[in-house]
Chain A
């Protein structure tokens, strides 16, 4: 079956521009996560959506970062006024949600480069 997909796979932007990254989770998965991995670092949690509940935004590094999940499916991560330190691979994952334990399945990531 189809896994988690992300688009674009690569994005190069200039400092100060806004970018939108898209994630299509596995059908039927109610939980969706965004992470980023900077060079030489581990996976940094950004935001978590579970069904219709308010998202857990505790990992967002600044108010320039926001995310939406429309219709409980597709999610968009928006970074406003990008900075060079935003350069990273942004990973989306989904899981069935509502179960413990739960297992996340990752998309291929979007590599963001801010010049």
Chain B
């Protein structure tokens, strides 16, 4: 049972444009969400997070939006750069599940120079 879903396995964007990566979840108890970036042959690296008390968190070129009523979050990268090309995973956790995190299947982003 996939509690966190990333329905787009891949995305291609022109350099300088906005990249929007989407993530949906089913468990309404999730209260903390994260995005990780993964390059080939490396482990995922933490990118940005958001708590359910917020609907937006921004860090430089990266902004995460949370829509709790729709159980949807998205990661915006603007402007996109070729170095952003990687697989992006969203993850979610709930206070009542301890620190168990549920990951999506990832979206492979390619930024075309």
Binding site for B on A (CB under 8 A): 4, 6, 31, 33, 35, 40-43, 45, 48, 50, 56, 58, 91, 93, 95, 97, 100-109
Contact = CB atoms under 8 A, between A and B. Distances in A.
Nearest to A10: B41
Nearest to A106: B43
B103 A42 contact: yes
Interface in B73-98: 89, 91, 93, 95, 98
A101 B44 contact: no
Nearest to A107: B43
Given A42-B89, A42-B104, A101-B51, A4 B43 contact: yes
Contacts of A40: 105
B101 interface: yes
B44 A91 contact: yes
Given A100-B32, A104-B46, A108-B43, A48 B100 contact: yes
A109 B43 contact: yes
A48 B43 contact: no
B44 A106 contact: yes
A41 B93 contact: no
Contacts of B99: 31, 33, 48, 50, 95, 97, 100, 102
B59 interface: no
Nearest to B51: A101
A108 B45 CA distance: 10
B49 A103 contact: yes
Given A35-B103, A42-B103, A101-B32, A106 B98 contact: no
Contacts of B46: 103-105
A43 B100 CA distance: 12
Interface string B14-41: 0000000000000000011010100001
B42 interface: yes
B44 A100 contact: no
B102 to A, nearest CB: 7
Given A42-B106, A48-B99, A107-B43, 18 more contacts: A33-B101, A41-B105, A42-B4, A42-B6, A42-B103, A45-B103, A48-B98, A50-B98, A58-B100, A100-B32, A100-B99, A102-B99, A103-B49, A104-B46, A106-B43, A108-B43, A109-B41, A109-B43
